[in-house]
Amino acid sequence: MKNCADKDFNLIRVLNKPLPFRGKINGWFTDNYEIVQKCLRQSKAKSIVIDDAGYLITNMFMSGHSSYGAGNAIFSFYNKIGDSFWNLIQFIINVLPEDVIVYLMMHEEQEESGEIKPKTIGKVLDEKVCVEGMFTIVLRCVAENNKHLFVTQSADGAVSKSPEGMFEDLTIENDLLLVDNAIRDYYGIKKEEKNDKEI
């Protein structure tokens, strides 16, 4: 996100920690799904990052799992966790304007089969939904020779994908601004010119 600082981006921070680079990306701090959706609606920027979106799931689990007991109650709790994240993705897809792009940053985990996928909690999201299947573009961050890169297509057992011809190479520079420009160019999604008087 470093090159997105001071650009037409907003940031929803699920964890209240400082950015690991200089500069500023305006936005909010919350792990409440309703507030996240409100922020997405109110954002003046056309590109919005939710970082770290996986902690929406983790925080809900950690703040509630000990109070649900066992049996049907805990089963219902896992359903609530899955429903909340699924509903957020549906909100992004179906409610926000087409020229708004939302980036969900998530950690990954490796399953016993060796497959690498976004880290979630509970079988609802893993077995019933398949989170990465709800997105057209899934980029994986890797480090090679002290360089951070995005993987644009499936490789090494990890889920990565992008439309044919959007990116020329299997790996590209880890630069979200570059990605945002490529997506907008590929689909013909333009950002409105800002009025100089806007705050």
Task: Express each pLDDT in 55-70 by its tens digit.
Answer: 999 999 999 887 776 6
Interval 130-156: pLDDT, tens:
899 999 999 999 999 999 999 999 987
**Cβ proximity of 2 and 10 under 8 Å:** no
Range of the domain at 42: 2-107
Compute the distance between CA of residue 196 and CA of residue 175 in angstroms, rounded to an integer: 26
For residue 134, give the nearest of 143, 121, 125 by alpha carbon. Answer: 125
* pLDDT score at 70: 64
Compute the distance between CA of residue 102 and CA of residue 116 in angstroms, rounded to an integer: 22
Whether 163 maps to a domain, the answer reads no
Whether 128 maps to a domain, the answer reads no
* pLDDT score at 198: 39
Cβ-Cβ contacts under 8 Å for 42 (sequence gap 6 or more): none
Whether 60 maps to a domain, the answer reads yes
* pLDDT score at 193: 52
Whether 147 maps to a domain, the answer reads no
CA torsion sign for 117, 103, 105, 144 is: positive
Which residue stretches of the chain have pLDDT < 70? 69-71, 192-199
Total domain count, the chain: 1
**Cβ proximity of 15 and 106 under 8 Å:** no
Burial category of 55 from C-beta neighbours within 10 Å (exposed 0-12, middle 13-18, buried 19 and up): buried
DSSP 8-state symbol, 157: T
Whether 165 maps to a domain, the answer reads no
